[in-house]
A and B are shown apart, each in its own frame.
Chain A
Amino acid sequence: MARVVFMGEVRQYTGDDDAVEIDAPNVLQLFKKLGALYPRLAPVLETGFAVAIDGEVMEDALLQRIDDAKEIVLVPKMEGG
């Protein structure tokens, strides 16, 4: 069971919630459960956000296992020049 933390921008999609406990085997399943909980978040999860899994940022990693993760933070995707 991981604690999913919503910082800043994400909270516009989650109302007043700043965290939620979710049990999921990988990021894809996590996104599905988050999308079900917060329907407005669903369409932007895969395209707009990376995840920081116990502090390590991972982008486009839907199959990343998170069985043992303690804390997951949704992080806006980075761009670059």
Chain B
Amino acid sequence: MPDEVNTEFKWVGKRNPRPDGVDKVTGRAKYGADLYLPGMLVGKTLRSPHAHARIKSIDTSKAKALAGVKAVVTSADFPAIPKPPGPHGPMISDFRDNSMNMMARDKVLYDGHPVAAVAATSEKIARQALKLIEVDYEVLPHVIDPVEAMKPDAPILHDDQVTEGEDEKTAKPSNVYRIPRAQKGDVEKGFAEADLVIEREFTTKAVHQGYIEPHACVAQASDDGVELFCSTQGQYVDRGSCAKLLGLDISKIRVTSSEIGGGFGGKIPIYSEPVAIRLAQLARRPVKMVMSRDEVFRATGPTSGAHVRIKIGAKKDGTITAAEGEMTYQAGAFKGASIGAAMNCMFSPYDLENIHVWGYDVCVNRPKVAAYRAPGVPMAAFGVEGVINELADELGIDRVDLRLINAAKEGTQNVMGMKYGPIGFQEMLEKMKAHPHYNAPLGENQGRGLAAGYWLHAGGMSCASVNVSDDGTVTLIEGNPDIGGSRASMAAMVAEELGIDYNKVRPIISDTSSLGFTFLTAGSRVTFATGMACVLAARNAIKVACDRAAQMWGVSEEEVVWEDGHARPAGANVGDHEPMSLAEIAAKAPMTGGPIAGHAEINATGQGPATGAHLVDVEVDRESGHVKVLRYTVFQDVGRAISPDYVEGQLQGGAVQGIGWALNEEYIYDDKGRLENPGFLDYRVPVASDVPMIDVCMIEVPNPNHPYGVRGVGETPIVPPQAAVANAVENAVGLRFRDLPVSPPKIRKAIKDAGG
């Protein structure tokens, strides 16, 4: 899009305060559960207690008869969606699956699967009503582990699912939905050329995104349409999903996003939203549905647990000659594990000639997985980076040097066919090696680990409007829920373009009826894609302003330029005209043609690779197995940090989530397939006292395809931590760890087994 990448800035790259900051820290901000409407009912969901069971019957008559109950729904109250489900909008994917996940039809497929819902005048009555719903189940055998689910005698979740590519009429039903594959070069030849080949297997557990705010929504229905207020990463995608699941016109639904208390991918799917709408339609009153933490854990998407096999060959000089990766990922109850992204990214920090990657997308009796920051990649990278660290040790080459020998550079083509433009991976590794952390002394039982990671951020559709008021201040309307400080970044870029004070730009996040379609706050796309739309909208507003100045001066539009917030004559020959500020032009707008505004509707492309590398020191208590993270430094090529504070926050947040993933977090099921730790007491995410201050070292190699050089930054920082932390523990105790989490019992057992 850009004519050129801007390099000198007044607001971009500065530590501007977030417009939403004070409201969020003082409690004024409205989250999903904070809306109260007159006559509002409380919606509650009845969930399956079984991991796998056939629903023989549901009797809701007693619940419906309870005083205070205004509506009860089961799957019979939603359209049955045929297979295949037909065309769909962006990111809605298989909405037949989504419908069956929202409300079970013939079978329940996991502990927590919704089977009915009620709306009542109070939470107490709603809970009483749930107890009055009688569901007759035929309990079926279940399967939790994806490797077990691939065996011939495994319980089958979907009788109508065969592995993609096989004949539906002749093939047997399978829990394996698909086996995607990508390859480049000739791995057989590459392994034959290697002096050393290392092949290892790794496992990771399903982990939750750990957002603090549970899913919450309020729905209101009238004859004119539906209003939905909810905590979401994408109000437009929610709108499309609800329309599909309810059989409504998209334009009849207006979705307003609340502030969002974390998402990390977990608030892309819809769960209670269509249920709340249906209840509201039936009750003809607003309905609020707020999940408990237990419901969030049991019924919303974690990331996949994974089994990964990695094989890498290298010459004595460190040149990698071939790399192979096989991934088996839990999809949960419905297909859709993030294997494609893993295949794309796992070897992509490196310039390799021969690569072969493939994976198995496997349905199991767990909640359907959802995206979690760089979805699918951390599990694969845990294996890749673990083997690279082992290769370095075996070859006697420094771990950073081995990566430098094989580092991707401009012109490198990855396994998916993308050829890189400018990329800062080599520069970043050199900075890591020169950083004081890299050679700082370590004490007894302390170890240092490192790993690298890659993500290709998303582009996609975004809209923006810049409306100039008659005092020259600006309302910027864009369509992405602000999770990580995007309001500030959008405002900074618009202020920069217009040449006005950052504080004179007020960014507003639109509802779905007030601005054109804008894709998700996900995939590290917002500052890149929506940022581009905001810049373009500002430039279009400038065109209008310049045109007005030209007409007032009696010159042509080409004879006016916009510099430093003013329309100015393009040259001395244009005439002696006093420059006009945006405020001066806007003040005359009512008499010179009407409002001054700029709009943009784009489908952004030109994403740049985003690479990172993490360095971590830990200390292991050999008696308890407890790991203390002593020091942590994140290095990342951020392209251009529009808002350095919030970029640093993304890098720090990714690292902390990765530390939890590496050391403690895991879903634990009992022998009946019921989740045993659905809460933050038993599912342990890191808290402030568990981690040191995460240091950040940003490398800025601008992406030439964005007007300010932006690369998406949110996902990459969760890719390296798992391997980096495990590597540090390995170096502290002298033992290899290939199964996450590297929790105290595992460390203690490994030390004991080794005679320690």
Query: Among A7, A9, A55, A77, which residue has its beta carbon within 8 angstroms of that of B420?
Result: A55
User: Which of A60, A64, A81 has the most chain B CB within a 10 Å cutoff?
Assistant: A81
CB interface residues, A 30-54, toward B, < 8 Å? 52, 54
CB interface residues, B 323-367, toward A, < 8 Å? 338, 340-341, 343-344, 357-358
- Known contacts A8-B181, A8-B182, A56-B606; is-contact A80 B417 (Cβ 8 Å): no
Q: Is there a chain B Cβ closer than 8 Å to A5's Cβ? A: yes
Distance of A9 Cα from B184 Cα, bound (Å): 11
Residues of A within 8 A of B264 (CB): 81
CB distance from B198 to the nearest CB of A (A): 23
Residues of B within 8 A of A79 (CB): 91, 338, 340-341, 371, 375, 458, 522-523
- The residue on B at minimum CB distance from A81 is B265
Distance of A59 Cα from B344 Cα, bound (Å): 15
Residues of A within 8 A of B458 (CB): 59, 78-80
CB interface residues, B 368-412, toward A, < 8 Å? 370-375
Q: Are B416 and A76 in contact (CB under 8 A)?
A: yes
Distance of A73 Cα from B415 Cα, bound (Å): 10
CB interface residues, B 83-106, toward A, < 8 Å? 90-91
Q: Is there a chain B Cβ closer than 8 Å to A61's Cβ? A: yes
The majority secondary structure among interface residues of chain B is loop
Distance of A11 Cα from B417 Cα, bound (Å): 14
- The residue on A at minimum CB distance from B374 is A81
Q: Are B419 and A59 in contact (CB under 8 A)?
A: no
Q: Are B180 and A59 in contact (CB under 8 A)?
A: no
Residues of A within 8 A of B461 (CB): 60
Residues of B within 8 A of A81 (CB): 209, 263-266, 268, 370-375, 522-523, 715
User: Which of A54, A57, A60, A74 has the most chain B CB within a 10 Å cutoff?
Assistant: A57
User: Which of A59, A73, A75, A80 has the most chain B CB within a 10 Å cutoff?
Assistant: A80
CB distance from A44 to the nearest CB of B (A): 10
Q: Is there a chain A Cβ closer than 8 Å to B603's Cβ? A: yes
Distance of A56 Cα from B341 Cα, bound (Å): 17
Q: Are A8 and B418 in contact (CB under 8 A)?
A: no
Q: Are B344 and A78 in contact (CB under 8 A)?
A: yes
Residues of B within 8 A of A8 (CB): 180-184, 343, 357-358, 415-416
Query: Among A60, A64, A74, A80, which residue has its beta carbon within 8 angstroms of that of B457?
Result: A80
Distance of A9 Cα from B344 Cα, bound (Å): 11
Residues of A within 8 A of B265 (CB): 80-81
Residues of B within 8 A of A55 (CB): 413, 417-421
Q: Are A76 and B373 in contact (CB under 8 A)?
A: no
Residues of A within 8 A of B456 (CB): 57, 78
CB interface residues, B 696-712, toward A, < 8 Å? 705
CB interface residues, B 286-329, toward A, < 8 Å? none
CB distance from B156 to the nearest CB of A (A): 23
- The residue on B at minimum CB distance from A54 is B419
Residues of A within 8 A of B183 (CB): 7-8
- The residue on A at minimum CB distance from B344 is A78
Distance of A64 Cα from B459 Cα, bound (Å): 15
- Known contacts A52-B417, A76-B340, A78-B344; is-contact A59 B182 (Cβ 8 Å): no
> CB-defined interface of B173-192 with A at 8 Å, one 1/0 digit per residue?
00000001111100000000
Distance of A71 Cα from B457 Cα, bound (Å): 22
CB distance from A47 to the nearest CB of B (A): 8
Query: Among B268, B372, B460, B520, which residue has its beta carbon within 8 angstroms of that of A59?
Result: B460
- The residue on B at minimum CB distance from A60 is B603
- The residue on A at minimum CB distance from B609 is A57
Q: Are B371 and A7 in contact (CB under 8 A)?
A: no
CB distance from B390 to the nearest CB of A (A): 26
Q: Is there a chain B Cβ closer than 8 Å to A24's Cβ? A: no
Residues of B within 8 A of A73 (CB): 416-418
> CB-defined interface of B686-724 with A at 8 Å, one 1/0 digit per residue?
000000000000000000010000000001000000000
Q: Is there a chain A Cβ closer than 8 Å to B525's Cβ? A: yes
> CB-defined interface of B417-461 with A at 8 Å, one 1/0 digit per residue?
111110000000000000000000000000000000000111111
Q: Is there a chain B Cβ closer than 8 Å to A58's Cβ? A: yes
Residues of B within 8 A of A56 (CB): 418-419, 421, 605-606, 705
Contacts A9-B180, A55-B413 aside, 20 further interface pairs with beta carbons under 8 A come to: A8-B182, A9-B182, A12-B181, A56-B419, A57-B418, A60-B90, A60-B460, A61-B603, A76-B182, A78-B456, A79-B338, A79-B340, A80-B371, A80-B374, A80-B375, A80-B525, A81-B265, A81-B372, A81-B373, A81-B522
Can you show 14 pairs from A to B with CB atoms below 8 A apart? A7-B416, A8-B182, A8-B343, A55-B417, A56-B421, A58-B605, A60-B460, A60-B603, A64-B605, A75-B417, A76-B182, A79-B371, A81-B263, A81-B522
